[in-house]
Amino acid sequence: MNISSSSSSKVDIEQEPLLTINGLRAGYRGWEVLSDINLRLKPGETLGILGHNGAGKTTLLRCIAGLLAPTHGQISYDGEDISRWSIPQRVKKGIVLVPQGRALFRELSIRDNVMLGAFRKTPSEALQAWNSLSERWKWLAERQTTHVEKLSGGQQQIVANARGLASLPNLLMVDEPSIGLSGVAVTELVEFLKGLRSEGKTTILVEQNVGLAANVCDHFMILRNGEVIGLYHRSELPMENLWSLF
Amino acid sequence: MSQLLDIIIQAFYTGAEWALIATGFGFIARTTNIFHLALGGIYAIGAYGCYYFTVQLGMPLFIGAIIGVLLAGVGGALIDLAVYQPVTGLYGKRQVDRLSPFIASLGVLIVLQNCIQLWFGSIPLFIESPDWGVATIGTSRILVWNLVKILISFCSVAAFALWLVKTRTGASALALGQSPEGASVVGISERAVRLQIFFATGLFAGLAGVLAIMTHPTLPHDGLAIVIYGALIAMMLPKANVLVWWLIAVAAAFVYAATITTIGGGWHDVVLQTVLMSAVVILRIIMPAMQRRRIIREASLLEATKNNR
C-alpha cells in the first residue's frame, strides 16, 4: 500500500492495487474539504482512516462510493478510471459503502433491507446472499419480518453490515460504525471486522474509536483538515500518543 | 334505510375516484416529499385525452380510455423529468427546499388546466358510459358500470399495494422514500425509480379522470378540488397501506354523499373539507401531542417511583 498527500509515490511492483486515488480534491459548494489525496490500496488490505471531526474522512469515502463528485483528481478501481461512474455502476462493480448513521430503511423488514443490499444482483443471487447472511447471523432469519426501526442500535448496525455484504463487495467501506453502540455491540462489531480481514476482504474503515480501528486494521491513514498527515503500518502505530498525531 | 344504502353505494363509486388520486398524491409525498398538486392537471389529461380519442376521433371507448390513461402516465413522468428533478435535484445535489417544488407543481397545474380549457373550452364534457344495465342491491338500484368502476379502482390500488411489497422495484420505491442515502448506497437509481413512481401515479390520476368523465360532466379545473380531497385523505395517515387510503376515501365520500342529501347546495363541499381538515388535525397534530404528553407523564412517574425507592 502507498498512501500520501503529496505527489511523491512509491511504486509497488508486487501486486496491482485494487483502488488508486491520484490528486483527489473534493468539497461542498465551493468549500474544499479534501486536498490532493493519493492512495493505493491492494486487494485484501484493511485501511483505517483516522482523524478529528471535519478532517475529511467521510468525504473521502463518499467520493470513492460516488456520492460526491471530486473537483480534481482520479479514482481508479481494478485498473479502470471510475471517477465519472454512477453509484449503481460502482455498486455493480463491488464498491459498497455502509454509511455513517446506517441509512437503513426503517419501516422495511430486516429481510427487505438485506435483500435490497443486493439490488444490483439477480434475484437468485440476492436470495443466496440472504441465506448465507442469515446463516452468519441466525437472528436475522428468526426476526426477518421485524421492522428495522424496532431494533437496537447494535442490531441495526449488524443489518447495515449485512446489507453491505449482500452485494458481495470487493471493496467494503464502513463509516463510523461504532457510534452510539454499547460495549457488547462494539465487541461484536470488532469480531465482524476482524472476520472480514481474515476472509481477505478489502476494507476501508473510518472510525473515531481509535482503539477499535487499531484492533482491526492493517494500515492507517491520518487525516487533518483534508490532508494526509501520516500513514502507518499496524506495527508502526504509536498507540500511546496516537491522539497527538491528529 | 333505503336512503342510507343509496348513500353508501354512492360513497363507493365517488370514493373510487378519490382513492386513485389519494394513492398517487400520498405515495409521491411519501417517497419524494413533493406536494404534487399537478396531479389535478394529470387527472384532466386522462379525462380529456379519453374524450378526444373517443368522441372527437371516434375510437372505441376501451381504446380511448387506455390511451387517456397512458397519456396521463407519460405526463406524470415528464413533469418529474422536466420540472421536479431540475428544481429539487437528485440525492447528493438536492437543495433542501420544499417550497420550490410546491410552487412549481402549482404552476404546472395551472398551465395544464388552462391549456386543456383553451383546447376544449369551458363547457363540462361527458362521455357516455357503457350501457351494461342496472343491478339491484337490497332496495337500491345501481348502474353496473358504477360497480365496474368501483372494482377497477379497488383492483388497481390492490395491484399497486402488491407491487410495492412483492417486487424489488416496489421495495426500492419505498426504500427511496425512507432513506435516499441508503437507496443510493445499495445502487438504486433515484432517477429511474422516480420516473416509475411518477408514471404509475400518473396512470392512477389518468384512470380517475377517465372514470370521472364517464360518470359525470367534467371540467378542466375539476382536478384541483379532487387533488385537495386526495391530499387530505392521504395526509390523515401518510404511512398507511395504500388500501387504507382507499377505505378512507370511501369514508370521505360517504360524508360528501350524506351532506349532499341532507344539506344540499354548495355546502356539502364546505362540510367535507371541514371534516377532512379536522381529521387531519386530530390525527396528525392532536393525537401525536397527546401521545407525547402521555409518554412524558409515564416517564416522570417512573422516575418518581425510582426516587421514592
Global pTM value: 0.85
The edge-to-edge listing of strands for the beta sheet with A95-98 is A95-98, A171-175, A202-206, A46-50, A219-224, A227-233
What integer is the mean pLDDT of B152-166?
95
The interface predicted TM-score (ipTM) is 0.85
pLDDT tier, B307 (very low <50, low <70, confident <90, very high otherwise): confident
The confidence score (pLDDT) of residue B93 equals: 58
pLDDT at residue A183 greater than cutoff 70: yes
Selected for mutation to probe chain B from A58, A93, A113, A116 (highest B CB count within 10 Å) is: A116
DSSP-based three-state secondary structure for B218 = strand
- Phi and psi at residue B58, in whole multiples of 5°? 75, 25
Q: State the Cα angle at A191 between A230 and A141, rounded to 5°.
A: 135
**pLDDT tens, residue by residue, A188-200:** 888 888 888 888 8
Nearest CB among A90, A106, A119 relative to B172 is that of A119
- Phi and psi at residue B130, in whole multiples of 5°? -60, 140
Is B240 near chain A, with CB under 8 Å?
A: no
Three-class secondary structure assignment of B125-184: ECCCCCCCCEEEECCEEEEHHHHHHHHHHHHHHHHHHHHHHHCHHHHHHHHHHHCHHHHH
- All residues at 6 or more sequence positions from B48 whose CB lies less than 8 Å from its CB, including other chains: B68, B116, B119, B120, B125, B209, B213, B220
**pLDDT tens, residue by residue, A82-134:** 999 999 999 999 999 999 999 999 999 999 999 999 999 999 999 999 999 99
CA nearest A66 in B: which residue? B185
Is B189 near chain A, with CB under 8 Å?
A: yes
Query: Could you tell me which of A40, A36, A42 has the C-alpha nearest to residue A10?
Result: A40
* Interfacial A residues in 143-182 facing B (CB < 8 Å): 163, 167
pLDDT at residue B12 greater than cutoff 60: yes
Is A67 near chain B, with CB under 8 Å?
A: yes
Is B187 near chain A, with CB under 8 Å?
A: yes
Is A245 near chain B, with CB under 8 Å?
A: no
Our CA-based measurement puts residue A89 at a distance from the nearest CA of chain B, in whole angstroms, of: 8
Nearest CB among A67, A91, A123 relative to B186 is that of A91
Nearest CB among A68, A106, A116 relative to B186 is that of A116
Q: Which domains does chain A have, with CATH numbers?
A: 45-66+87-245 (3.40.50.300)
Is there a contact between B178 and A68 if contact means CB atoms under 8 Å apart?
no
| Dihedral sign of CA atoms B93, A4, A44, A206 in order | negative
Tell me whether strands A80-81 and A72-77 are parallel, antiparallel or unpaired: antiparallel
Is there a contact between A103 and B179 if contact means CB atoms under 8 Å apart?
yes
Is there a contact between A105 and B179 if contact means CB atoms under 8 Å apart?
yes
